[in-house]
Amino acid sequence: MDEIVSERAASDPFNVGHRHDTLFRVVTDTMPQMVWSTLPDGYHDYYNARWYEFTGMPDGSTDGEAWNGMFHPDDQDRAWQRWRHSLATGEPYEIEYRLRHHSGQYRWTIGRANPLRDADGRITRWIGTCTDIHDAKQAAEHSELLSRELSHRIKNIFAVINGLVSLSARQMPEAKAFAENLQRRINALGRAHDLARPHSAHSAVHTGEATLHQLLKQIFSPYPAMDAGRIAINGEDFPVDDRGATPLALLFHELATNAVKYGALARDDGQVTIDIAAVDDTVELRWREHGGPEIPAPPSHIGFGTTLADLALIDQMGGIVARRWHRTGLELIAKIDVARLSRS
Protein backbone atom coordinates (compact mmCIF):
# COMPACT_ATOMS: atom_id res chain seq x y z
CA MET A 1 0.00 0.00 0.00
CA ASP A 2 2.83 2.41 0.87
CA GLU A 3 4.46 1.73 -2.48
CA ILE A 4 1.24 2.59 -4.33
CA VAL A 5 0.86 5.90 -2.43
CA SER A 6 4.50 6.85 -3.09
CA GLU A 7 4.18 6.06 -6.79
CA ARG A 8 1.02 8.18 -7.05
CA ALA A 9 2.61 11.10 -5.17
CA ALA A 10 5.56 11.04 -7.53
CA SER A 11 3.37 11.44 -10.61
CA ASP A 12 0.66 13.53 -8.94
CA PRO A 13 2.31 16.29 -6.85
CA PHE A 14 -1.07 17.80 -6.01
CA ASN A 15 -2.42 14.49 -4.68
CA VAL A 16 -5.80 15.08 -6.32
CA GLY A 17 -5.99 12.07 -8.57
CA HIS A 18 -4.65 11.47 -12.04
CA ARG A 19 -7.62 13.02 -13.87
CA HIS A 20 -7.51 16.28 -11.95
CA ASP A 21 -3.72 16.41 -12.04
CA THR A 22 -3.78 16.07 -15.83
CA LEU A 23 -6.41 18.82 -16.09
CA PHE A 24 -4.30 21.11 -13.89
CA ARG A 25 -1.26 20.58 -16.08
CA VAL A 26 -3.24 21.21 -19.29
CA VAL A 27 -4.66 24.45 -17.85
CA THR A 28 -1.34 25.77 -16.57
CA ASP A 29 0.49 24.87 -19.77
CA THR A 30 -1.94 27.07 -21.75
CA MET A 31 -1.35 30.08 -19.46
CA PRO A 32 0.95 32.87 -20.71
CA GLN A 33 2.68 33.08 -17.31
CA MET A 34 5.20 30.68 -15.93
CA VAL A 35 3.43 28.64 -13.23
CA TRP A 36 5.19 26.77 -10.45
CA SER A 37 4.32 24.98 -7.25
CA THR A 38 6.07 23.93 -4.06
CA LEU A 39 5.51 21.75 -1.04
CA PRO A 40 4.64 23.50 2.26
CA ASP A 41 8.35 23.74 3.11
CA GLY A 42 9.10 25.55 -0.16
CA TYR A 43 10.51 22.61 -2.14
CA HIS A 44 9.81 23.29 -5.83
CA ASP A 45 8.36 20.23 -7.51
CA TYR A 46 6.35 21.55 -10.45
CA TYR A 47 6.81 24.00 -13.34
CA ASN A 48 4.56 24.42 -16.36
CA ALA A 49 5.68 24.38 -19.99
CA ARG A 50 6.12 28.17 -20.09
CA TRP A 51 8.86 27.95 -17.45
CA TYR A 52 10.91 25.51 -19.49
CA GLU A 53 10.29 27.44 -22.71
CA PHE A 54 11.47 30.67 -21.07
CA THR A 55 14.52 29.28 -19.27
CA GLY A 56 15.48 26.60 -21.78
CA MET A 57 16.32 24.29 -18.86
CA PRO A 58 15.73 20.51 -19.01
CA ASP A 59 12.64 19.18 -17.24
CA GLY A 60 13.23 18.71 -13.53
CA SER A 61 16.61 20.48 -13.50
CA THR A 62 15.31 23.40 -11.41
CA ASP A 63 13.44 21.37 -8.79
CA GLY A 64 14.13 21.93 -5.12
CA GLU A 65 16.50 24.84 -4.42
CA ALA A 66 18.00 24.82 -7.93
CA TRP A 67 15.45 27.42 -9.04
CA ASN A 68 17.35 30.19 -7.20
CA GLY A 69 20.29 29.68 -9.54
CA MET A 70 18.08 31.00 -12.35
CA PHE A 71 18.04 34.50 -10.80
CA HIS A 72 20.59 37.20 -11.50
CA PRO A 73 23.40 36.87 -8.93
CA ASP A 74 22.58 40.31 -7.53
CA ASP A 75 18.96 39.27 -6.91
CA GLN A 76 19.46 35.82 -5.38
CA ASP A 77 19.90 36.78 -1.71
CA ARG A 78 16.99 39.22 -1.85
CA ALA A 79 14.70 36.64 -3.49
CA TRP A 80 15.66 33.99 -0.94
CA GLN A 81 15.03 36.31 2.00
CA ARG A 82 11.61 37.29 0.67
CA TRP A 83 10.69 33.65 -0.04
CA ARG A 84 11.81 32.44 3.40
CA HIS A 85 9.77 35.21 5.01
CA SER A 86 6.65 34.01 3.18
CA LEU A 87 7.33 30.39 4.15
CA ALA A 88 7.76 31.39 7.81
CA THR A 89 4.72 33.66 8.00
CA GLY A 90 2.34 32.34 5.35
CA GLU A 91 2.17 35.81 3.79
CA PRO A 92 1.80 36.04 0.00
CA TYR A 93 5.05 36.21 -1.92
CA GLU A 94 5.71 39.03 -4.41
CA ILE A 95 8.99 40.30 -5.77
CA GLU A 96 10.61 41.66 -8.94
CA TYR A 97 13.83 39.98 -10.02
CA ARG A 98 15.87 39.23 -13.12
CA LEU A 99 15.38 35.70 -14.44
CA ARG A 100 17.77 34.04 -16.87
CA HIS A 101 16.22 33.63 -20.31
CA HIS A 102 17.17 30.78 -22.64
CA SER A 103 19.00 33.38 -24.75
CA GLY A 104 21.39 34.01 -21.84
CA GLN A 105 19.87 37.45 -21.16
CA TYR A 106 18.48 38.26 -17.72
CA ARG A 107 14.94 39.58 -18.05
CA TRP A 108 12.91 41.34 -15.36
CA THR A 109 9.98 39.31 -14.09
CA ILE A 110 7.53 39.65 -11.25
CA GLY A 111 7.13 36.56 -9.08
CA ARG A 112 4.00 35.97 -7.01
CA ALA A 113 2.79 33.06 -4.91
CA ASN A 114 -0.08 32.31 -2.54
CA PRO A 115 -0.52 29.43 -0.13
CA LEU A 116 -3.23 26.77 -0.41
CA ARG A 117 -4.66 25.77 2.96
CA ASP A 118 -6.69 22.83 4.18
CA ALA A 119 -9.83 23.03 6.31
CA ASP A 120 -7.71 23.48 9.44
CA GLY A 121 -5.78 26.38 7.96
CA ARG A 122 -2.56 24.44 7.40
CA ILE A 123 -0.60 25.25 4.26
CA THR A 124 -0.66 22.26 1.92
CA ARG A 125 1.05 23.83 -1.10
CA TRP A 126 2.24 27.10 -2.63
CA ILE A 127 1.10 28.06 -6.13
CA GLY A 128 3.11 30.74 -7.88
CA THR A 129 3.64 32.54 -11.18
CA CYS A 130 6.41 34.42 -12.93
CA THR A 131 5.42 37.13 -15.41
CA ASP A 132 7.87 38.68 -17.88
CA ILE A 133 7.77 42.49 -17.36
CA HIS A 134 11.13 43.28 -18.95
CA ASP A 135 9.86 45.31 -21.93
CA ALA A 136 7.35 47.24 -19.81
CA LYS A 137 10.01 47.98 -17.18
CA GLN A 138 12.47 49.23 -19.76
CA ALA A 139 9.79 51.45 -21.32
CA ALA A 140 8.93 52.88 -17.89
CA GLU A 141 12.60 53.55 -17.12
CA HIS A 142 13.04 55.28 -20.49
CA SER A 143 9.96 57.41 -19.86
CA GLU A 144 11.23 58.32 -16.39
CA LEU A 145 14.62 59.28 -17.82
CA LEU A 146 12.99 61.57 -20.40
CA SER A 147 10.80 63.11 -17.71
CA ARG A 148 13.82 63.87 -15.52
CA GLU A 149 15.69 65.35 -18.44
CA LEU A 150 12.72 67.57 -19.29
CA SER A 151 12.41 68.68 -15.67
CA HIS A 152 16.13 69.46 -15.56
CA ARG A 153 15.81 71.62 -18.66
CA ILE A 154 12.79 73.42 -17.20
CA LYS A 155 14.84 74.17 -14.08
CA ASN A 156 17.59 75.59 -16.29
CA ILE A 157 15.01 77.74 -18.08
CA PHE A 158 13.98 79.23 -14.72
CA ALA A 159 17.63 80.12 -14.10
CA VAL A 160 18.03 81.66 -17.57
CA ILE A 161 14.85 83.76 -17.20
CA ASN A 162 16.01 84.95 -13.78
CA GLY A 163 19.34 85.96 -15.29
CA LEU A 164 17.64 87.85 -18.12
CA VAL A 165 15.41 89.71 -15.67
CA SER A 166 18.42 90.64 -13.55
CA LEU A 167 20.38 91.83 -16.61
CA SER A 168 17.42 93.90 -17.83
CA ALA A 169 17.01 95.49 -14.41
CA ARG A 170 20.66 96.61 -14.42
CA GLN A 171 20.14 98.22 -17.81
CA MET A 172 16.83 99.81 -16.75
CA PRO A 173 17.15 101.02 -13.13
CA GLU A 174 13.60 102.36 -13.18
CA ALA A 175 12.33 98.78 -13.53
CA LYS A 176 14.30 97.47 -10.53
CA ALA A 177 11.30 97.09 -8.18
CA PHE A 178 9.25 95.30 -10.84
CA ALA A 179 12.20 93.04 -11.70
CA GLU A 180 12.72 92.06 -8.05
CA ASN A 181 9.05 91.12 -7.68
CA LEU A 182 9.20 89.11 -10.90
CA GLN A 183 12.37 87.32 -9.76
CA ARG A 184 10.71 86.35 -6.48
CA ARG A 185 7.79 84.84 -8.38
CA ILE A 186 10.15 82.94 -10.66
CA ASN A 187 12.07 81.65 -7.62
CA ALA A 188 8.82 80.47 -6.01
CA LEU A 189 7.89 78.59 -9.16
CA GLY A 190 11.38 77.09 -9.29
CA ARG A 191 11.16 75.84 -5.69
CA ALA A 192 7.73 74.35 -6.33
CA HIS A 193 8.91 72.66 -9.51
CA ASP A 194 12.02 71.28 -7.82
CA LEU A 195 9.89 69.71 -5.10
CA ALA A 196 7.30 68.16 -7.39
CA ARG A 197 9.44 67.18 -10.40
CA PRO A 198 10.57 63.55 -10.99
CA HIS A 199 13.75 62.76 -9.07
CA SER A 200 16.34 60.05 -8.92
CA ALA A 201 17.18 58.42 -5.60
CA HIS A 202 20.12 60.86 -5.26
CA SER A 203 18.45 64.11 -6.32
CA ALA A 204 15.25 63.81 -4.27
CA VAL A 205 14.85 66.53 -1.65
CA HIS A 206 12.35 64.42 0.29
CA THR A 207 11.37 60.78 0.67
CA GLY A 208 8.20 59.51 -0.97
CA GLU A 209 5.92 61.58 -3.15
CA ALA A 210 5.60 65.35 -2.79
CA THR A 211 2.67 66.57 -0.74
CA LEU A 212 0.71 69.79 -0.31
CA HIS A 213 2.20 70.43 3.14
CA GLN A 214 5.72 70.02 1.77
CA LEU A 215 4.95 72.34 -1.14
CA LEU A 216 3.66 75.11 1.15
CA LYS A 217 6.66 74.80 3.46
CA GLN A 218 8.95 75.07 0.43
CA ILE A 219 7.16 78.18 -0.80
CA PHE A 220 7.30 79.86 2.63
CA SER A 221 10.89 78.82 3.40
CA PRO A 222 12.44 82.22 2.39
CA TYR A 223 10.20 84.11 4.84
CA PRO A 224 11.56 84.60 8.40
CA ALA A 225 8.00 84.25 9.73
CA MET A 226 8.12 80.56 8.77
CA ASP A 227 11.17 79.89 10.96
CA ALA A 228 9.61 82.00 13.72
CA GLY A 229 6.52 79.78 13.77
CA ARG A 230 4.19 82.57 12.65
CA ILE A 231 3.00 80.64 9.58
CA ALA A 232 1.04 77.52 10.59
CA ILE A 233 -0.04 74.80 8.16
CA ASN A 234 -2.84 72.63 9.56
CA GLY A 235 -5.17 69.88 8.42
CA GLU A 236 -5.12 67.11 5.87
CA ASP A 237 -2.33 66.46 3.40
CA PHE A 238 -2.55 65.40 -0.24
CA PRO A 239 -0.12 64.24 -2.95
CA VAL A 240 0.85 66.97 -5.40
CA ASP A 241 2.98 66.97 -8.54
CA ASP A 242 4.02 69.54 -11.13
CA ARG A 243 0.44 69.71 -12.38
CA GLY A 244 -0.77 71.39 -9.20
CA ALA A 245 2.50 72.85 -7.90
CA THR A 246 2.82 75.80 -10.30
CA PRO A 247 -0.55 77.53 -9.76
CA LEU A 248 -0.44 76.86 -6.01
CA ALA A 249 3.07 78.32 -5.82
CA LEU A 250 1.90 81.49 -7.56
CA LEU A 251 -1.11 81.91 -5.28
CA PHE A 252 0.60 81.31 -1.94
CA HIS A 253 3.76 83.19 -2.85
CA GLU A 254 1.60 86.20 -3.67
CA LEU A 255 -0.36 85.85 -0.43
CA ALA A 256 2.83 85.65 1.63
CA THR A 257 4.43 88.59 -0.21
CA ASN A 258 1.39 90.81 0.34
CA ALA A 259 1.15 89.72 3.99
CA VAL A 260 4.77 90.82 4.51
CA LYS A 261 4.16 94.18 2.81
CA TYR A 262 0.69 95.11 4.05
CA GLY A 263 -0.79 92.34 6.19
CA ALA A 264 -0.21 90.23 9.27
CA LEU A 265 3.43 89.43 8.53
CA ALA A 266 4.26 93.15 8.40
CA ARG A 267 4.22 93.08 12.21
CA ASP A 268 6.46 91.03 14.45
CA ASP A 269 3.52 89.42 16.27
CA GLY A 270 1.28 88.88 13.22
CA GLN A 271 0.34 85.32 12.25
CA VAL A 272 -0.96 83.38 9.29
CA THR A 273 -2.78 80.04 9.44
CA ILE A 274 -3.47 77.77 6.47
CA ASP A 275 -6.14 75.16 7.13
CA ILE A 276 -6.57 72.30 4.64
CA ALA A 277 -9.66 70.10 4.57
CA ALA A 278 -11.26 67.56 2.23
CA VAL A 279 -14.86 68.27 1.32
CA ASP A 280 -16.18 65.40 -0.80
CA ASP A 281 -13.88 65.40 -3.87
CA THR A 282 -12.64 68.92 -3.21
CA VAL A 283 -9.67 70.29 -1.29
CA GLU A 284 -10.45 73.50 0.61
CA LEU A 285 -7.52 75.74 1.55
CA ARG A 286 -8.28 78.57 3.96
CA TRP A 287 -5.71 81.37 4.48
CA ARG A 288 -6.28 83.58 7.54
CA GLU A 289 -4.25 86.54 8.77
CA HIS A 290 -4.26 87.70 12.40
CA GLY A 291 -2.51 90.51 14.22
CA GLY A 292 -1.75 92.71 11.25
CA PRO A 293 -2.78 96.30 10.57
CA GLU A 294 -6.51 96.88 10.80
CA ILE A 295 -8.29 96.80 7.43
CA PRO A 296 -10.90 99.58 7.22
CA ALA A 297 -12.23 98.47 3.81
CA PRO A 298 -11.46 96.10 0.94
CA PRO A 299 -8.71 97.38 -1.38
CA SER A 300 -9.87 99.39 -4.35
CA HIS A 301 -7.23 97.95 -6.65
CA ILE A 302 -6.16 94.35 -7.32
CA GLY A 303 -2.46 94.04 -8.21
CA PHE A 304 -0.93 92.24 -11.15
CA GLY A 305 0.49 89.45 -9.00
CA THR A 306 -2.85 88.71 -7.36
CA THR A 307 -4.59 88.69 -10.74
CA LEU A 308 -1.95 86.34 -12.16
CA ALA A 309 -2.23 83.96 -9.18
CA ASP A 310 -6.02 83.87 -9.39
CA LEU A 311 -5.94 83.19 -13.12
CA ALA A 312 -3.46 80.32 -12.62
CA LEU A 313 -5.65 78.65 -10.01
CA ILE A 314 -8.93 79.23 -11.87
CA ASP A 315 -7.82 78.61 -15.46
CA GLN A 316 -5.22 75.89 -14.94
CA MET A 317 -6.88 74.01 -12.07
CA GLY A 318 -10.54 74.89 -12.46
CA GLY A 319 -10.53 76.19 -8.89
CA ILE A 320 -12.58 78.79 -7.04
CA VAL A 321 -11.05 81.70 -5.10
CA ALA A 322 -12.91 83.94 -2.65
CA ARG A 323 -11.56 86.73 -0.43
CA ARG A 324 -13.07 88.20 2.70
CA TRP A 325 -11.58 91.42 4.04
CA HIS A 326 -12.14 91.32 7.81
CA ARG A 327 -10.96 94.26 9.90
CA THR A 328 -8.56 91.82 11.64
CA GLY A 329 -7.04 90.53 8.42
CA LEU A 330 -7.52 88.86 5.06
CA GLU A 331 -9.27 85.50 4.76
CA LEU A 332 -8.95 83.63 1.47
CA ILE A 333 -10.73 80.40 0.57
CA ALA A 334 -9.57 78.35 -2.42
CA LYS A 335 -11.38 75.20 -3.55
CA ILE A 336 -9.80 72.71 -5.96
CA ASP A 337 -10.76 69.24 -7.15
CA VAL A 338 -8.48 66.65 -5.53
CA ALA A 339 -7.80 65.15 -8.98
CA ARG A 340 -6.26 68.46 -10.12
CA LEU A 341 -3.48 68.33 -7.51
CA SER A 342 -1.78 65.28 -8.93
CA ARG A 343 -2.00 62.87 -11.86
CA SER A 344 -1.83 59.85 -9.55
Domain membership of residue 253 (yes or no) is yes
28: nearest Cα among 19, 20, 38, 36: 36
Confidence of residue 147 (pLDDT cuts 50, 70, 90): low
> In terms of domains, do 126 and 142 share one?
no
For residue range 303-344, what is the model confidence (pLDDT) as tens digits? 766 787 787 788 878 888 999 999 999 999 999 998 888 876
> In terms of domains, do 127 and 263 share one?
no
> In terms of domains, do 115 and 144 share one?
no
Half-sphere exposure of 116 (CA within 13 A, CB side): 10
Domain membership of residue 4 (yes or no) is no
> In terms of domains, do 216 and 244 share one?
yes
Instruction: Tell me how far apart the alpha carbons of residues 184 and 263 are, in angstroms, rounded to a whole number.
Output: 18
Report the predicted TM-score, pTM, of the whole model to 2 decimal places: 0.48
Q: What's the pLDDT at 218?
A: 83
For residue range 201-257, what is the model confidence (pLDDT) as tens digits? 444 444 456 888 988 888 888 778 888 899 999 999 998 887 778 788 878 888 888
Contact 58, 78 (CB under 8 A): no
For residue range 249-292, what is the model confidence (pLDDT) as tens digits? 878 888 888 898 889 998 989 999 999 999 889 999 999 999 99
> In terms of domains, do 121 and 175 share one?
no
> In terms of domains, do 187 and 327 share one?
yes
Q: What's the pLDDT at 277?
A: 95
Which CATH number characterizes residue 252's domain?
3.30.565.10
Q: What's the pLDDT at 129?
A: 93
> In terms of domains, do 87 and 190 share one?
no
Number of domains in the chain: 2
> In terms of domains, do 128 and 141 share one?
no
> In terms of domains, do 37 and 114 share one?
yes
Provide, for the chain, the percentages of residues in helix, strand and coil under a 3-state DSSP scheme, each rounded to the nearest 5: 50, 25, 30
For residue range 47-64, what is the model confidence (pLDDT) as tens digits? 998 999 999 998 888 887
- Decide which of 132, 147, 178 is a domain's last residue: 132
Which CATH number characterizes residue 49's domain?
3.30.450.20
Domain membership of residue 263 (yes or no) is yes
What is the CA 322 to chain-centroid distance, rounded? 31
Q: Give CB contacts under 8 A, 24+ apart, made by 26-34.
A: 31/129, 33/129, 33/130, 33/131, 34/109, 34/129, 34/130, 34/131
Domain membership of residue 26 (yes or no) is no
> In terms of domains, do 325 and 303 share one?
yes
> In terms of domains, do 113 and 91 share one?
yes
Domain membership of residue 312 (yes or no) is yes
130: nearest Cα among 86, 84, 70, 77: 70
287: nearest Cα among 241, 256, 261: 256
Mean pLDDT on 66-95: 91
Amino acid identity of residue 264, one-letter, is: A
Domain membership of residue 269 (yes or no) is yes
- Decide which of 109, 132, 155 is a domain's last residue: 132
Confidence of residue 95 (pLDDT cuts 50, 70, 90): very high
Q: Which residues are paired to 80 by β-bridges?
A: none
Does 142 score more than 90 pLDDT? no
Domain containing 53: what range?
31-132
For residue range 4-45, what is the model confidence (pLDDT) as tens digits? 333 334 445 555 544 446 666 766 777 788 999 999 999 988
- Decide which of 110, 132, 154 is a domain's last residue: 132
Query: 307: how many CB neighbours lie within 10 A of its CB?
Result: 11
Domain membership of residue 119 (yes or no) is yes
> In terms of domains, do 94 and 162 share one?
no
Domain membership of residue 149 (yes or no) is yes
